[in-house]
Amino acid sequence: MAKLVINNENKKSTIAPEIYGHFSEHLGRCIYEGLYVGENSDIPNVNGMRTDVVEALKEMKVPVLRWPGGCFADEYHWMDGIGPKEKRKKMINTHWGGVVEDNSFGTHEFFELCRQLGCKTYVNANLGSGTVREMSEWVEYMTFNGVSPMADLRKENGHEEPWVVDYLGVGNENWGCGGNMRPQHYADEFRRYQTYVRNYNGNKPIAKICCGPNVDDYHWTKEVLNTCFDHTPEHFHGFMDGLSLHYYTLPETEDDWNVKGSATDFTEEVFYQTLKRSYFMEELINNHGAIMDQYDPEKKIGLMIDEWGIWTDVEPGTNPGFLYQQNTMRDALVAGMNLNIFNKHSDRVKMACIAQMINVLQSVMLTEGEKMIKTPTYYVFKMYRHHQGATLLGSDLLNGGTVGSGKNEVPKIFESVSEDADGVITITLTNNSLESSEDVDVQLTKDGGAYNVCEAVYVTGKMADHNTFDNPEVVKELEFKDYSKTSEGLKITLPACSVVSIRLKK
Ligand code: AHR
């Protein structure tokens, strides 16, 4: 039997709510159709935002939303997306399917969406093809409360009050689609651009996110920190508040983007291989984190994993540039495992945005016309929402064993544990085995017997189980009943291929 020892006296880092963040790009049907249908649509909406989608997202709890890209960000010129919609410029979305972008969703619509969701805002600005002036004026337009050309323009366009920009990305993937820069060059550009990102009127300072590495490009991390980290007091902890990291799990290959594999049709071997590739996230956090520690031992800069998730082949018959993929129990396990990893590294990981929110890559929801379904990944985010803002507790999983063989071996059980402000303990676990359930003896180091289960839910199924528009509830959140109390905590049985959340209260 596996044993989970929870040291509830060992209170560790705060789990930043932003670890449960999302990413929405002008890509395929993420923004248009997924989130935004326009005010005149027959699909019920509030100011153009789909009501069904917004309501479901609120239930799942979205802490932060990143927009407008991705690669799109470094080609986005924000002025094209403001003012009367009929006058907004139409452009070609060169990255994603070559379709016409009519700019009907722009700055005002983004802030309206975040208002409806009640989430923080993460605007990714254009460094690759934009100018310093353009970035600086966008910040002025969004945040300046006074008389100035950009604030006046915002008011003319119907928004008197400034908005709050919580995070600003200074470019995206500038080692690739954001300009193919070398680290030294980007680092100098970052220093320059971020200089003109002003904090107006004593506003809450905008947290600036510097473009970090692609996967395991440790050279990039080192070079960028070398140039941008500054120990002098006037720069506080350097020029940045966060360094991004992008890592996608490609099921069938390490780096051949032509053979990613199907989202729903895969073998058991590929299932375990997917988990193994996804588990690589922990090594990336450790290694990039170790480099960051050399500059920033107090961990003031966050590692912002603002793009992560499974990237498969698109669904047959769909536009290859739209990145529309289905979402199975395999996705649920990948989500559960990664979120547990992020929680456990919450001393350094301060944000993570799954790619992408809806209809693109590993989404939490899919839409087809007026229909909307929740994916297995949705339920994992919903079950894990109690970790947001809670305190990580020390936990050790003993005798859990492994699954998968040879190079695909991964731990069978993954866990993380937190305690919220009311003293409620949330335990989230994945059982990565396709074959066997696992008994787990959960022991708390203090007052174990005094705790009772106040909520227990789970998702389970076969590895490729997924929801469709005809059958939307193949995978859904169920009540978890397979537990009993012990003098030190409880005993639980995790079903094979499951993600479980158990909450304990004294
Ligand atoms: O999420 C899809 C794309 O993946 C993003 O636009 C880009 O940043 C990354 O390469």
For the segment 26-72, what is each residue's pLDDT rounded down to a tens digit? 999 999 999 999 999 999 999 999 999 999 999 999 999 999 999 99
* Percentage of the chain exceeding pLDDT 90: 95
Nearest of 388, 439, 397, 441 to residue 416 by alpha carbon: 397
pLDDT in tens, 303-318: 999 999 999 999 999 9
Output the DSSP codes for 262-307.
-SS---HHHHHHHHHHHHHHHHHHHHHHHHHHHH-TT--SEEEEEE
Residue 173 in contact with ligand 1 by CB distance below 6 A: yes
Q: Which of 18, 137, 173, 223 is catalytic?
A: 173
pLDDT of residue 235: 53
Indicate which residue's Cα is closest to atom 4 of ligand 1: 70
Would you say the CB of residue 74 lies under 6 angstroms from ligand 1?
no
Give the predicted TM-score (pTM) of the model: 0.97
Q: Does residue 33 line the site of ligand 1, with CB under 6 A?
A: no
- Quick check: 125 and 132 in contact, CB under 8 A? no
CA–centroid distance, residue 483 to ligand 1 (Å):
41
| Separation of alpha carbons 26 and 102, rounded Å | 11
What's the rounded Cα separation, in Å, for the pair 222 and 51?
A: 44
Taking the alpha carbons at both ends of the chain, their separation in whole angstroms is 25
Cβ neighbour number for residue 404 with a 10 Å cutoff: 22
Q: What is the pLDDT of residue 201?
A: 77
pLDDT given at position 236: 52
Q: How far apart are CA 344 and CA 449, in angstroms?
A: 25
Question: Does the pLDDT at position 476 exceed 70?
Answer: yes
- Asked if residue 237 has pLDDT above 60, the reply is no
The better pLDDT of the pair 254, 397 is held by: 397
Query: Ligand 1 centre from 321 Cα, in Å?
Result: 11
Q: Which residues pair with 498 in a beta bridge?
A: 431, 460
Around 185, how many Cα atoms within 13 Å sit in the side-chain half-sphere?
10
d(CA 35, CA 29): 8
Which tens digits make up the pLDDT trace of 315-356? Answer: 999 999 999 999 999 999 999 999 999 999 999 999 999 999
Which pair of structure tokens corresponds to residue 467? 């929801």
Centre of ligand 1 to C-alpha 71, Å, is: 6
Q: What strands, in cross-sheet order, belong to the sheet with 498-505? A: 478-479, 452-460, 498-505, 425-431, 413-419, 391-398, 2-14, 438-444, 489-494, 483-485
Cα gap 195→38, rounded to integer Å: 36
Per-residue pLDDT, averaged over 415-432, amounts to 98
- Is residue 25 within 8 Å of residue 67, measured between CB atoms? yes
pLDDT for 505 beyond 90 = yes
Which pLDDT band, with edges at 50, 70 and 90, does 232 fall under?
low
234 pLDDT band, cuts 50/70/90, is low
Cα–Cα distance, 429 to 416 (Å, whole number): 7
Question: Per residue, what are the HEC states of 381-435?
Answer: HHHHHHHCCCEEEEEEEECCCEECCHHHCEECEEEEEEECCCCCEEEEEEECCCC
Give yes or no for a contact between 136 and 197, defined as CB atoms under 8 angstroms apart: yes
Is 250 near ligand 1, meaning CB less than 6 Å away?
no
Is 307 a residue of the active site? Answer: yes
Map out the domains of the chain with their CATH numbers.
Answer: 25-60+71-333+355-376 (3.20.20.80)
Which one of 307, 415, 438, 488 is the catalytic residue? 307
Helix (H, G, I), strand (E, B) or coil at 155: helix
Query: Confidence class of residue 397 from pLDDT cuts 50, 70 and 90?
Result: very high
Structure ipTM:
0.99
Regarding the beta carbon of 404 and ligand 1, being less than 6 Å apart is answered no
The closest-lying atom of ligand 1 relative to the alpha carbon of residue 71 is: 6
Do the Cβ atoms of 357 and 22 come closer than 8 Å? yes
